[in-house]
Copies of this chain bind each other. A is one copy, B any other.
Amino acid sequence: MTAVESSTTYDVARIREDFPILGRRLSGDLPLVYLDSANTSQKPQQVVDAIADHYAQHNANVARAMHQLGAEATAAFELGRDKVAAFIGAPSRDEVVYAKNASEALNLVARVLGDAGRIGPGDEVVITEMEHHSNIVPWQQVTQRTGATLRWFGVTDEGRLDLDDIDTLITERTKVVSLTWVSNMLGTINPLDVVIAKAHSVGALVVVDASQAVPQIPVDVAALGADFVVFTGHKLLGPTGIGVLWGRYDLLAELPPFLGGGEMIETVTMERSTYAAPPSRFEAGTPPIAQSVGLGAAIDYLSAIGMQNVAAHEQAITAYALGAMQEIDGLTVVGPKEAVMRGGAVSFTLDGIHPHDVSQLLDSRGVAVRAGHHCAKPAHLRFGVQSTTRASFYLYTTEQEIDVLVEALHHTKKYFGS
């Protein structure tokens, strides 16, 4: 029974000690129950220290400085890239492009594919109804600009990707298919293999929004077979201000630059410029130096625990939460109701109580969840709700915390008299 084995070696209490914020007391001296990790993750002391130490002892600009501090900062910055590449199984470190967040990375891909003429009049881009706004708006923008058409997969009543239409959706006209790996609202894990195979069979490129996947499941981009994979540092125990675009090297090498400026050039005259090879070509200006150091420390932390173990814990805690929460009368989970092909974000409604009011009452008990549309308005519309409350879990979440959540939900119902 490997599941039991790994849960005995997985010591959540020990892990929690590394996260200073989990010891926070809130208003009323209540302990913090942080169930908002799909929004942003907390940071272990190791990450906080790596960033502080970088600024205090090794800070310099990178690439262009030849002095000792510059060499230290450059080595530390590029080591972060090496760690990212190894963590996601990238065949080459030069396939790892830094952006400011996942949103910029998705915009980068959409813009340069448009600028390169790979999306044009009559072409189609296919997304899904369960995307985060950051994987919708850039494709609306590029299809509008280029005269292409935006199409999308629907979502079944169970919150799964509706694959019935796949053959009419993905056709010879399709140039790009962009979809999320794990839905940040429904929690659904999508069957990427099916979509990637179909997209590649018609010659379309596949962009995977792995913002919710890389934090909670082992990722191997080479095995996945997509063309671009995007994620964000702050959901992965890392700092804000850094996102990652992984792209197939041959593709990156063909594409025109995104932002222009320092560091992304080969040579510049007033009349014209030539551009550096990837990843530099896509990284204009001073890069997220301390953020790469911090992200590297986050990856070290996760790797030491083992992503298999992180995934197993996420799975176990989500199953526990789904069970306990669905015993509450009037609570409806929006998204898959069992912990099968499912990540650790559980969105729900509570009859007669608006999600704002739910989350406010939970907060009054120290339970931090998110209420609103979770940047997924179309997915909410699909289920006929304007907003939901979402509890989301991570490697530091305990069953006791879920119990506090459930107790607080009962309290909420009583408070609003429903």
- Interface residues, chain A, with chain B CB atoms under 8 Å away: 20-21, 24, 26-27, 32, 34, 36, 39-40, 42-43, 45, 47-49, 51-52, 55-61, 64-70, 99-104, 106-107, 115, 129, 132-138, 140-141, 145, 150, 152, 232, 234, 239-243, 257, 259-265, 267-270, 272-273, 284-291, 356, 359-360, 362-363, 367-372, 374-375, 377-378, 381
Contact = CB atoms under 8 A, between A and B. Distances in A.
B70 A36 contact: yes
B43 A48 contact: no
Main secondary structure of the interface of A (DSSP, over half): mixed
Contacts of A261: 103, 106-107, 132-135, 137-138, 375
Most interface-central of A42, A135, A288, A367 (chain B CB within 10 A): A288
Most interface-central of A64, A101, A133, A270 (chain B CB within 10 A): A270
A6 to B, nearest CB: 28
A234 B34 CA distance: 32
B20 A56 contact: yes
A377 B61 contact: no
How many copies of this chain?
2
Contacts of A377: 267-269
A61 B69 CA distance: 33
Most interface-central of A136, A261, A374 (chain B CB within 10 A): A261
Contacts of A51: 51-52, 55
A170 B190 CA distance: 55
A78 B376 CA distance: 24
Contacts of A268: 133, 136-137, 377-378
